[in-house]
Amino acid sequence: MERFLYKKEILIDDSGWGDLILGVVIGALKLPEGKYMERRIPISSFQPPHFQNKRYLDDAVKIAEEIVKVMQPDEDTVFKVCTGYVLSSIRRYLREQGFKVEEIEVTGELQELVERSFGYWCKEVGIDFERTEGKRSFNFFIEWVAEKPHLRENLVKTGWKSWSNRWREIAYRKKS
C-alpha cells in the first residue's frame, strides 16, 4: 500500500492553470490544525516573455518557501501535493529540502478553498463569477474578454500559443 495516514500533513493545490484569464492560486492546508494560506502567481508570469521562460515555476517555488516558513513543518510532516504541472517545481523543491512528498489528486476542503479563491480573484477584476454558477468555462472567459478586448487582454494568459494563433483574433472580431 503506497498511501499512509500521517498525523501531520500539509496539502497543496492550485486553481486557474487551465483558465484563459488571470494567473494561478496556490493554497496550502495544514492538518490537523486546519491552518490555511494561499498565494497567487501573477498573470504576468503567463505572458511573454515570462511564460516561455516558465517563470510561473519559479514563482511556485517562492510560494513553497513561504509555505514552509509559515506552516513550519517538521520531520514528521508529509506534504501531499496535487499532481498539476504548475506544482511540479514545488514537489521538487520540497523533496530537495528533505521533506516527505506524495503526489495526489486533491479533493474536498482544500480544493473548495482554492477554487473559491480563484473565484474571488475573478470578482476583483470584474468578472461576474456568479453568472457561471461556479463553473468556469473557456467560452465564458473568451466572451468576457471579447466584450472589451483592448482593456481585458492584459488579464489573459497571452503566452499560450493558442491565444496568439487563434483566440486573440476571435476575441477582437467578436467586438467588431
Confidence category of residue 140, pLDDT binned at 50, 70, 90: confident
pLDDT band at residue 128, thresholds of 50, 70 and 90?
confident
Q: What is the pLDDT of residue 135?
A: 63
How many separate helices (H) and strands (E) can be counted in the chain?
7, 5
Residue 106 has pLDDT above 80, yes or no: yes
The residue written with cell numbers 492538518 in the block is 31
Cell 473565484 sits on residue: 119
Check residues 28 and 119 and name the one with the higher pLDDT. Answer: 28
C-alpha Rg value of the chain to the nearest Å = 18
Measured CA to CA, the distance from residue 67 to residue 12 in angstroms comes to 9
Of the chain, the percentage scoring pLDDT greater than 70 comes to: 91
What average pLDDT does this structure show over 21-43?
96
pTM of the model: 0.91
What distances in angstroms separate CA 152 from CA 19, 79, 100, 171, 173, one per listed residue?
A: 14, 37, 41, 10, 14
Kindly list the domain boundaries of the chain, sorted by start residue. Answer: 8-126
Pick among 3.40.50.300, 3.30.420.10, 2.60.40.420, 3.10.300.10: CATH of 8-126: 3.30.420.10
